[in-house]
Structure 1
Amino acid sequence: MFKKLRNYSKYIIYFVVAALVLTGAFLGFGAYRNSSPAASSVIDPNYIARVNDTSIPRETYYQYLQNNAQFAQLSREQQVPYRLNLLNQLIERELLLQEAEKLGIESNPTDKEVKEQINKMLEAYNITEEKLKELLDSRGIKYEDFKEDIRHNIKTSNIIRKTIEHTYKGVEVSEDEIREAYEKVRPALIAVNIEGEKKKEARAKIEKALKELEEGKAFGEVAAKYSDLKLKDGDLGFIGRNNGFLPQEVLDKAFELEKGKTSDIIEGEKGYYIVKVIDKKLARGEEFEKSREELKDQLLKQKQNRTYQNWLRDTKKQADIEIYDPVLNGYKALQEQNYTEAINDFKIALDYNAAPIVYVYLARAYHGKGDDQEAIKVFEEALKDNSESWYLHYNFGNLYADIDKKDLAIKEFKKASELAGKDIQAHYRLYLALAGLGAKEEAEHESDIVKKLQKEIEEARKELQEQVNESRDNNELKSDSVEKAQTNNGRTENK
């Protein structure tokens, strides 16, 4: 049974039919297929990855990419992370199917479920069942085969859902967790930092603040005078027990104090504090009881998701997973700061696909490893065949900026600007890079280019809108003329 579930073409055909057959749309992906797969064909030309003893076909992966039309709208830097993310989804899906097989989880969708799923599709694309049959027939797909593919998809989805549910079986939410999640406090705070200031002086400062409070001065006035945390009246607004902002000792004291009360000096690791409770929201009363079940459900879903994510993380660590695409595997290694592996993979990729983005990743891997001279050599080599690439010059400039070679960075950024043409996103990125270096004149120049391009885009948009309006008006005039002519003809015939 599970061998059939791994028939990815059947798993995907539902999406292919929905997105491609019904709409007539097809995301052309020839550029990717001609550029990257060859890079890893030396490893395995038929499979993109292996998960334990099961391999994922390359065809499956490409179909999955085609079904995610968002890919076509991504920049070159976004495409590799996106591709890796989609591959990870297929890997995680395979891990779930393998777990389901161990657990003996099954699913047998009924004819009613299949019919309901098809009806949802018909409604979504606003077509009749007869029209769907015609479309399928025109592409050589039998309607009964299509229904079986839908059944297969439902079956797979159900098995995956049941397996995920099994990973967090027994997870519950306690009454204390509900109360803690509901309760909030609204503190005002005076904070005197120890960092950068002698501890004795910080203590003296907070003691002066406490003395003035004891003398009757308003908390907000004292906070404005002494606190290093500049907030109006020191008011932090309502915060929960797990806010991640206040030191734990301050938070505990805030929940301990009665409304309107002020603490003594609280000593923390990084400073001294005085807290006043402006208001409290406690887990009691009608309002709490009304929100109890909703809050419980929310907390349960959060715990279940955390439990599942933890299971998935541990399962992936224990699994024997191999990615047969050096660009994707190299990027994964780069993200995990495994720079040696990343360098090896990107070098393999360059033997088959010398794309600028691969050079950029290789240089980043060398930089991450601390070998900046090699990183520089990578860019120099890349620019021999791609001297007109603004993107390479831009990233070369970023490398120089990272290693504190400001003049060389500016030189590369200026070259990138010359090559960027009317690419507004490129000029905006160059503006940010130059502004970050403190190169005011060059940054202003990029800012001016961006403004000019924005103006051109707006003018082009207005011109296009005018053309659309004019075309619509002409069509309306023609329509009116036809109606009048038809009316006149009718009158003539009546006569």
Structure 2
Amino acid sequence: MTWIKKNKWMTALIMAFIIAAGVFLTFILNKESAVASINNETITKDELYETLVKQYGSDTVDQMINDKIVEAEAEKKDITVSTKTVTSEIDKLKEQYGGEDAFNQALVDSGTTLTALKSDIKNYLLIKKLLEPEIKITEDEMKTYFEENKDSFATAEQVKASHILVADEATAKKVKEKLDNGEDFAALAKEYSTDDSTKDSGGELGYFAKGDMVTEFEDAAFAMSVNQISDPVKTDYGYHIIKVEDKKAAQAANYEDSKAEIKETLFDQKVDSEYQTWLDGKKKNYDIENTLSSEA
């Protein structure tokens, strides 16, 4: 079962990988001449450097130059992004990816690090602040976007639930008996659940709509009342004991309620489309040379 959802920041992981490659280049220059050997034949740092420079060097330096310009322009305007703000964005990512374990795995799969991602997020937030005075969003644009994407602003019926996942029916019945005898759901989740992404938070899954979970699980959850605890529910993942904590009724799309989200979406779109023009204009004020740009 997966509750992982994608977020705009994960596109930053790809660029962060390129930047990390540049950091790696610097690191290897400080190592001994031979970085590896095969049957006593060495691979030198110079050979490794040349290979990595050909693959990543020019793009990495270009990105580093762009980042330096953003930092310099932000400093001119006394614009900053706090560590707390970056941490908040990281926390949102962790939540949307289904917890810290899933988030960390996404970092590994993307070949990057938390430090590189934080740097990328900080840079993007600086860009947003720098471009904000130049970006205008009209009411007509917002209304048009709402009408064209109305379905995305409607809210489906949702259930907030926790679960305890175990491997076999006998264990599931044992856990259910303990619950019937008044034992604490969260404590039993920590003790028995095999779902490592939720057990430490008492099995909490948050809110979910139909289609987010496997059929057997969501059929049971949506049929239950608030505060009700299910009998064991079998899925391909094992046996679940489900506790429904809250429900939200479906809501039709409402423009006034969606204005803030629409404005943020349109703003992000305009930042993405106007950033390169802004950057090209700022580059005229700097003496820039990328000695790797001509290497094949």
Q: Same fold (TM over 0.5)?
A: no
Q: Which has the higher helix share?
A: 1
* Bigger RCO (CA 8 Å, 6+ sep): 2
Larger Rg, first or second structure (1 or 2) = 1
Q: Which has the higher strand share?
A: 2
**Alignment TM-score, normalising by the size of structure 1:** 0.24
**Alignment TM-score, normalising by the size of structure 2:** 0.36
